Amino acid sequence: MPGSRLAIVGHRLLQAVPSVIGIIIVTFLLTRALPGDPAAYFAGPAANAESIAQIRAQLGLDKSMPEQFWVYILDLVSGDLGTSLTTGQEVTDDILRRLPASLELTLAALIFSIGVALPLGIMAALRENSWIDHLCRIVVTAGVSLPTFFTGLFLLYIFYYLLGLAPAPLGRLNIVFLSPEPVTGLFTVDALIAGDFETFWAAFIQLILPAITLGLFSLAPIARMTRAAMLQVMGGEFVRTARAAGLSRRTVVITYALRNAILPVITTLGMVFSFMLGANVLVEKVFAWPGIGSYAIEALIASDYAAVQGFVLTMAILFVLLNLFIDVVYTLVDPRVGIDA
């Protein structure tokens, strides 16, 4: 079995290589099609044409498109993603500094979504057309239809402005606290590792509203897929056989139905996580969260080629790794799943 899992990982990695190469090429071409001149942005509004031309030469933008692409590939091979025009820092350093913030927010939102959507979807399937089933449909519809920025502003208005229960939307940590010693980059986890429970609580309460905002949007597909998968499995012959054998309802639901229904849910979780990681920019803007999404938007506005390319490449690599993780989880949940599955 371990050898089979390694074979699956190797097989999926080989399949991902053409996709990553295609993403590199398309991203390079699309960034060059962005409106605006990064040299003019970097030079400032008072710069003349001569100084802008000098900056273009320094940035290598005066070269032909094939030459620029060749230089970009050589830099990628050496592990250099370039320097961001908006921050003046290496793109690699910017991404490594901001990515943990987005990962922490996305993981917290996913945990919230699973904690709400999974039980809701299961109960809706077990009590079809009951009040819990109708509640599930309402939650799914609201989660899909409400924009995340509206949900975030509404939650801030209620819990921060009116009730005073939530902290000010000032990012990952209140300014009176120092960031914990970095180990994982996740403030809540690093604070627990350091045994600093006061900082942990401060980071945790800053995380609640952004995570709920993003989680409300992402729980809709999870609840819908859980309900649909459970309805399909509960009508299967093996479930009826288990009931006829006198097994308890709990055993039938958890051991037989849920384990067979969980596979499409796992696929949905992987898709939802990758989507949340790249689409949480509005939540980051509303709550001043210093994540990679807001970094990408700032780079797009400034036509910052290196930062945009670094962001897209990072998202592509994370998506590949996430798919690998899902494939391995598949083999753990259902040993029948192999390379050809």
pLDDT of residue 210: 92
Query: Does the pLDDT at position 315 exceed 60?
Result: yes
Give yes or no for residue 33 having a pLDDT over 80. Answer: no
pLDDT tens digits along 148-164:
888 888 999 999 888 88
Averaged pLDDT for residues 23-41:
74
Measured CA angle at 288 (ends 287, 290), to 5 deg: 125
Check pLDDT > 80 for residue 74. Answer: yes
pLDDT range class, residue 253, cuts 50, 70, 90: confident
pTM for this one? 0.80
Residue 19: its pLDDT value, please? 78
Q: Which domains does the chain have, with CATH numbers?
A: 91-301 (1.10.3720.10)
The fraction of the chain above a pLDDT of 70, given in percent, is 89
- Across the range 82-90, mean pLDDT stands at 81
| Average per-residue pLDDT for the chain | 81
Highest mean pLDDT among 69-83, 150-164, 228-242: 150-164
In the predicted model, is pLDDT for residue 309 greater than 50?
A: yes
Mean pLDDT within 250-271: 79
